[in-house]
Amino acid sequence: MDLKEFGDKMEKMNCEVCGKSFNNEDALNMHAKAKHKPKEEEKKPLFSEQQKKKAKTGLILLIIVAVFIVFYLYGKTNEKILPPTDMQGHIEASPQSHILKEPMGVAVQKHMLEHSDGSGRPGVIINYNCEDYSCETGLIEKLENFAIEYPQHVYVAPFPKMTAKIALTKQGRIEILEGYNEPLIRSFIG
């Protein structure tokens, strides 16, 4: 190789964009890629329009499903649980006593609303919930005294998970009490 050829090979290569000099073509190419990206590469979006549209649709559907779940759960947790006031679905059975220490089945309560002891006048049921509510001392005994005073048609029983402290029921009527109210109970019993 003569001196002229060596000089030609050593001739520097210049970047057309910024004018910087490089000893070889590989160095020039690396510089161009790192410092002067083609405009198409710079503007290329991370997601295509179709991908963005699918993601947006999926997010909207997810939000709608989440809203329905929240409303369903909210409705379930705020659902009122009260004793029955109708006879639909009753069974022909009577409770073992007018004063119960265990809950009276809903189907049996419905039968007692129709007629107490299976053949008497329509019944009145006094349900209480001292598991979820704070009941004052002697409350249950005071309620049980109504069953003693009206032995033909008044029943007293606990009703766990009821969303009331005291519920008075007769066919087609319910009265919710936050505490003991003797005049109101007597009036309801009639």
Q: Does 85 reside within a domain?
A: no
Structural domain harbouring 171 = 106-189
Q: Does 150 reside within a domain?
A: yes
| Residue 95 in tokens | 């409770």
Residue range 114-162, pLDDT digits in tens? 887 667 789 999 999 999 999 999 999 999 999 999 998 999 999 999 9
Cβ-proximal residues to 21 (8 Å cutoff; 6+ apart), any chain: 12, 13, 14, 15
Answer with the residue of higher pLDDT: 7 or 36: 36
Residue range 66-105, pLDDT digits in tens? 998 888 877 666 678 899 999 898 888 889 999 999 999 9
Q: Does 51 reside within a domain?
A: yes
- The model's pTM is 0.61
Q: Does 53 reside within a domain?
A: yes
Dist CA 22 CA 12 (whole Å): 6
pLDDT of residue 104: 95
Same domain flag for 39 and 110: no
Q: Does 91 reside within a domain?
A: no
Mean pLDDT over each residue of the chain, to the nearest integer: 86
pLDDT of residue 19: 85
Q: Does 87 reside within a domain?
A: no
Query: Which of 38, 60, 79 marks a domain boundary?
Result: 79
- Give the count of domains, the chain: 2
Q: Does 35 reside within a domain?
A: yes
Give the pLDDT band of residue 23 (cuts 50, 70, 90).
confident
pLDDT of residue 100: 96
